[in-house]
Amino acid sequence: MDLSKKKSNIESVIGSFYTLSACIDKVPNVVKWNYRNIEQEKYLKIYENCKGAKIPEIESKVSIGTVEPVNKFLKDKGFDIQLDQLKTPEDLAIASVLELLLKWIDVGIKGKIHYNNSEYTGVHLESGVNVMDVGIGYGISTIGPVGIINTRNKDKVLMTIPSKKPNTSFEVLDMARSLILCEKRPSEYYESYNLSFPMIDLDIKPDINWLVDMWTWRTDNPDKGWNIDQALQQTKVKLNEEGCEIKEAVAIGVRCFCASFDMKHPFVIDKPFLLVVQREGLKEPLFSAYLDIDSWIKE
């Protein structure tokens, strides 16, 4: 199998940062994280809103000097990403897993969605749904009507078709922020509307190598610091007539270094609807993803 060709067919983009931030939260004795590339700089600004968040659906595991407990934790949770062996007895292995199950108010009806002369399995919801009209007057001309699905646990699932495809997780998050901002403002709602959308079955491993070499000095020892040595992510999304299931794992290897440690300087070069999970009390979207047709279930 040509794995490079298969990877090139992946068009969906994940914009989820709470699971990653739960990993970063578990690194002890941090003075201040320092960035070495633009992506790390962007992320650390996001982290200010995500750090310390109390999300019951996120569970974390930390291991010192060995990756075995963390890799077993990932495997037991149904993920196949695995960290490489650590280099010193002081190094850390950390993993965080988000398991989020959202049920629609009422079960939807299976139907068909047509796109580019192909037929996909879809869902038609007739209750627990609002459709909001977002106009240019809100300063966001890239977003059209927004479908808002209420769930049994009071979270909301928002869907819209953006006018352009996001290319990075940061662009997905920016779209999700705009969507939530619109939803919170007074708008014209069409409560009698129904909502149809494609079923989703996505299993993706986003490239988060941009996180490698983010570093900090340690509060407990001024001659030592932490340097992120490995960064892995796996995200699974299922969307059907009953609800939305999101499972996500992030694992990082954190190397302990001394003041003389020579840190590497990496050079990293980095469609059709947006899915956002909003939760009251959180400063950022709980989850967001740009889901292209690679994740749609084909007939």
Count, residues in the chain: 299
What is the DSSP track for 239-267?
Answer: E-SSEEEEEEEEEEEEEEEETT-------
Residues 117-138: pLDDT tens digits?
A: 899 999 999 888 888 876 544 4
β partners of residue 98: 58, 248
What is the widest separation between alpha-carbon atoms in the chain?
Answer: 66
Q: Is the Cβ–Cβ distance between 159 and 273 less than 8 Å?
A: yes
Q: How far apart are CA 158 and CA 179, in angstroms?
A: 8
∠168-171-176 over CA atoms, to 5°?
A: 130
pLDDT for res 183: 73
Mean pLDDT over each residue of the chain, to the nearest integer: 87
Please state whether beta strands 215-217 and 13-14 pair in parallel, antiparallel, or not at all (unpaired). Answer: unpaired
Q: Is the Cβ–Cβ distance between 98 and 18 less than 8 Å?
A: yes
Q: How far apart are CA 142 and CA 270, in angstroms?
A: 24
Residues 70-81: pLDDT tens digits?
A: 999 999 999 999
For 126-270, strand residue ranges (E) read: 129-133, 146-150, 156-160, 188-190, 195-198, 200-204, 215-217, 224-239, 243-258
- pLDDT > 70: percent of the chain: 87
Q: How far apart are CA 241 and CA 198, in angstroms?
A: 10
Instruction: Answer whether residue 293 shows pLDDT above 50.
Output: yes
pTM of the entire structure? 0.82
Domains and CATH numbers, the chain: 7-102+203-260 (3.30.497.10), 108-198 (2.30.39)
Q: How far apart are CA 5 and CA 140, in angstroms?
A: 35
Question: 76: which residues sit within 8 A by CB, 6+ positions away?
Answer: none
Residues 20-53: pLDDT tens digits?
A: 999 999 999 999 999 999 999 999 999 999 999 9
Comparing 67-71, 106-110, 154-158, 185-189, which segment has the lowest mean pLDDT?
185-189
- Dihedral of CA atoms 220, 56, 285, 107 in degrees, nearest 10, equals 160
Q: Is the Cβ–Cβ distance between 206 and 235 less than 8 Å?
A: yes
Residues 146-165: pLDDT tens digits?
A: 889 999 999 999 998 888 88
Of 250, 246, 210, give the one whose Cα is nearest residue 234.
Answer: 250
Q: Is the Cβ–Cβ distance between 91 and 65 less than 8 Å?
A: yes
pLDDT-based confidence at 142, cuts 50/70/90? low
3-state class (DSSP) for residue 168: coil
Instruction: Answer whether residue 299 shows pLDDT above 70.
Output: no
Q: How far apart are CA 281 and CA 299, in angstroms?
A: 39
Instruction: Answer whether residue 260 shows pLDDT above 80.
Output: no
